[in-house]
Chains A and B, each alone.
Chain A
């Protein structure tokens, strides 16, 4: 495939607001997880909550979009000069030539959860101020981003659970290759809500302690929230920066909520990313794993890595820092990979004092300083939906 330049990007997560804070936390292995302190959810678990979301107020033509997911999106957009970078791109290409491709798993469902608490007891009606279209509906995230940034290119939301915001990078490549647009704003936003916390709890996939990916005693996930955005452009327009050089997508065709035990789908996605990029497995400095910290997920993914890279492949799992941000996980992984390419380090797997020997990986509890050229980023979701992205240093 023709590579795309990532000419601007930003990340907001539990480890910080903006790139610098997130890169520092990633470099030093500082976790943003804390005991669940949401008003609406009483569960014995840890969460990756973003500071300052509730203070964001959307006004004027953005007011109908007010809900936790778009408050988080707005907070994220305001960082790292991202809005300004998109404005320059808009001047250059035109508003109709920049795609808006967003990933989320639960959109603004927190607004619906709140509305259910305020239903009319006699009729069951939702309160009159509840705005379904601009909060709960799956497309509302792309609608909000397009409206906020003044873009009118091809737009959609991809919602394939936890691979959502990885798949939008592949879509951007196809849309640009097809001539539908000259550039794309891609990203992912998912925010804390009762449905995912209670739902994963019902599946017995939530850990009481901060999650410990790849650990011998890992006990499940910690749920987080995040917003990450990226401006993708063709290199022949003179744009400079790190590059997306490959992507791969696949289905497990195995089970709705459990991964293929041998990681066949995961391996297929990674293999496709390498093939599209025309890179060998040996060129990959490390894999930024999906590594959610459930026993089955990490085992399945490790087997997929062994299939492609052999035993003891260099890998890391970062969800001990941010929590599992679900539909935003792909965006978080890409932003973390870009930080490691820029600064030259393999991120630590936070809290990894006892690597599960069965995984046969080279994963470490401390960051390793060295030049990085190529990182493979994995994001896998319910429904056996897999995506792998290959990034190359500038």
Chain B
């Protein structure tokens, strides 16, 4: 399967957007890890914006960035997250330990895995299909396959947002996602002077590490940070081959053509 990359969105430690992070990803400037600040979304009206969570804002940040120069109103989308909104899961499970459990209605409707997808469709007044998936540590590869098959099956571009917020304290030991990270990839038909990814499922060869040590140190901190080796290749504007872990012990083999 061949897909083109129309635009990239990015947020991670010391990586505040793809354009400014490009020299860092290309190895031309040093990477300095810094705490992630998740900006508010500008697309939602104030009332809805107030109800968003870190997970929703993180997903929408890279979705907005990757679609800044296109018509969002018909774009199909894939929201890929390993864990969903664990901050909310924590608060609800905490509430359920009480003798008279009181679950917040807003927290409950934001607890669904597709809360970012639902907010995105509302924010962009977009009736196109939106989905929400998980592949645990291989969520990025699963999201790429989902987005690529959608692209192949219809007309127009497809947005992929992959994201997880850092695990809150209670889940840190059992699910050590230690940094918040998100990447947005807007997929378009291959060709037309844009970088092309040729995707194939492999038997399970080892994932490609990052070229730079400081980025390699980030790669394992978040399922969405598994995108860093691919982003390095894209930022350098060169071709290359990147292997990602895919679910059930498989691999996703990606040949990048600039």
Interface residues of A (CB under 8 A from B): 40, 96, 100, 105, 109, 112-113, 115-117, 119, 124-126, 130-133, 136-140, 142-143, 146-147, 151-161, 167, 171, 173-175, 177-180, 194-195, 198-203, 249-257, 264-265, 268, 381-385
- Asked whether B201 is an interface residue with its Cβ less than 8 Å from the other chain, the reply is yes
A133/B136 in contact, CB under 8 A: yes
A271, B169: Cα distance in complex, Å:
46
Q: How far does the alpha carbon of A136 sit from the alpha carbon of B136 in the complex, in Å? A: 11
Q: Is B215 an interface residue (CB 8 A)?
A: no
Identify the stretch in B19-27, B96-104, B227-235 within 8 Å (CB) of chain A at 4 or more residues: B96-104
Q: Does B165 contact A (CB under 8 A)?
A: no
Q: Are A139 and B108 in contact, CB atoms less than 8 angstroms apart? A: no
Alpha-carbon distance A153/B128, docked complex (angstroms): 28
CB <8 Å contact, B250 and A125: no
Residue A171 contacts which of B1, B127, B149, B174 (CB distance < 8 angstroms)? Answer: B149
B126 within 8 A of A: yes
Closest-CB distance, B199 to chain A (whole angstroms): 9
Partner of B109, one of A96, A155, A382: A382
Contact A126 B174 (CB under 8 A): yes
CA distance A109 to B175 in the complex (A): 14
Q: Which residue of B lies closest to A196 (CB)?
A: B108
The answer to whether A202 and B105 have CB atoms under 8 Å apart is yes
Q: Collect the chain B residues with CB atoms within 8 Å of residue A385's CB.
A: 114, 117-118, 130-131
Contact partner of B148 among A115, A157, A178, A200, CB < 8 A? A178
- In the complex the two chains form, is B122's CB within 8 Å of A132's CB? no
Contact in complex: A198, B118 (CB < 8 Å): no
Closest-by-CB residue of B relative to A195 is B92
Which residues of chain A come closer than 8 Å to B129, judged between CB atoms? 249-251
Does B124 make an interface contact (CB < 8 A)?
yes
B89 at interface (Cβ–Cβ under 8 A)? yes
A253 CA / B125 CA spacing, docked (Å)? 5
- 21 example contacts (A-B, Cβ-Cβ < 8 A) are as follows A96-B250, A112-B93, A113-B96, A116-B96, A139-B135, A139-B136, A140-B136, A142-B135, A155-B135, A155-B142, A155-B248, A157-B135, A174-B150, A198-B101, A199-B111, A250-B128, A251-B127, A251-B130, A253-B126, A255-B122, A383-B119
A139 to B133, CA, bound (A): 8
Asked, given contacts A113-B96, A139-B82, A256-B119, whether A125 binds B114 with beta carbons under 8 Å apart, the answer is no
Q: Which residues of B contact A202 (CB under 8 A)?
A: 102-105, 108
B250 touches A253 (CB 8 A): no
> For residue B82, which residues in chain A have a CB less than 8 angstroms away from its CB?
137-139
Residues of A within 8 A of B96 (CB): 40, 113, 116, 194-195, 198
Complex alpha-carbon distance, A96 and B246, angstroms: 12
Output the least CB separation between B203 and chain A (Å): 8
CB pair B174–A105 under 8 Å, yes or no, is no
Write out, one digit per residue, whether chain B residues 137-173 have a CB within 8 A of any chain A CB (1) or not (0): 0010010011011101100000000000000011101
Of B146, B169, B174, most buried by chain A (CB within 10 Å of CB) is B174
Is B193 part of the binding interface, using a Cβ–Cβ cutoff of 8 Å? no
The 6 A-B residue pairs whose C-beta atoms are closest, nearest first, are: A383-B118, A199-B108, A159-B113, A138-B134, A249-B129, A251-B121
* B contact residues around A252 at 8 Å (CB): 121, 127
- Whether B111 contacts A195 by the Cβ 8 Å rule is yes
Q: What is the minimal beta-carbon distance from B201 to any residue of chain A, in angstroms?
A: 6
* A257 to B110 CA separation, bound complex (whole angstroms): 9
> Complex formed: what's the CA distance from A174 to B76 in Å?
14
State whether A124 touches B169 (Cβ < 8 A).
yes
B118 touches A133 (CB 8 A): no
- In chain B, what residue has the closest Cβ to A251? B121
Give A245 to B96 CA distance when docked, in angstroms. Answer: 43
B12 sits at the interface (CB 8 A): no
B101 touches A160 (CB 8 A): no
Residues of A with C-beta under 8 A to B103: 195, 198-199, 201-202
Instruction: For A384, list chain B residues within 8 Å (CB).
Output: 118, 121-122
Distance in angstroms from B80 CB to nearest chain A CB is 9
Task: Judge whether B136 and A154 touch: CB under 8 Å.
Answer: no
A203–B93 Cα distance when bound, in Å, is 17
A residues less than 8 Å from B83 (CB atoms): 137-138
B175 touches A132 (CB 8 A): yes
Which residues of A have CB within 8 Å of B203? 96
Is B238 an interface position by the 8 A CB rule?
Answer: no
Say yes or no: is B84 at the interface (Cβ < 8 Å to chain A): yes
* Alpha-carbon gap, A142 to B83, bound state (A): 14
* CB of B112 closer than 8 Å to a CB of A: yes
Q: With A138-B84, A202-B103 as given contacts, are A178 and B142 in contact (CB-CB < 8 Å)? A: no
Across-interface contacts of A40 in B (CB, < 8 A): 96
A161-B113, A178-B153, A251-B126 given; name 9 further pairs at CB < 8 Å.
A116-B94, A126-B170, A133-B175, A139-B134, A178-B149, A195-B92, A203-B108, A252-B127, A383-B117
CA distance A157 to B135 in the complex (A): 7
Contact assessment for A156 and B122 in the assembled complex, using a CB-CB cutoff below 8 Å: no
Q: Does B45 contact A (CB under 8 A)?
A: no
Q: Does B115 contact A (CB under 8 A)?
A: yes
Q: Which residues of A contact B171 (CB under 8 A)?
A: 126, 132
Q: If the complex has contacts A156-B142, A382-B109, A384-B122, are A124 and B170 also in contact, measured as CB distance less than 8 A? A: yes
Query: Which residues of A sit under 8 angstroms from B145, Cβ to Cβ?
Result: 154, 156, 175, 180
Residue numbers in A under 8 Å from B122 (CB-CB): 253-256, 384
- Residue among B101, B105, B111, B114 with most chain A CB within 10 A: B114
Q: When A132-B171, A264-B127 are in contact, do A154 and B133 touch as well, CB less than 8 Å?
A: no
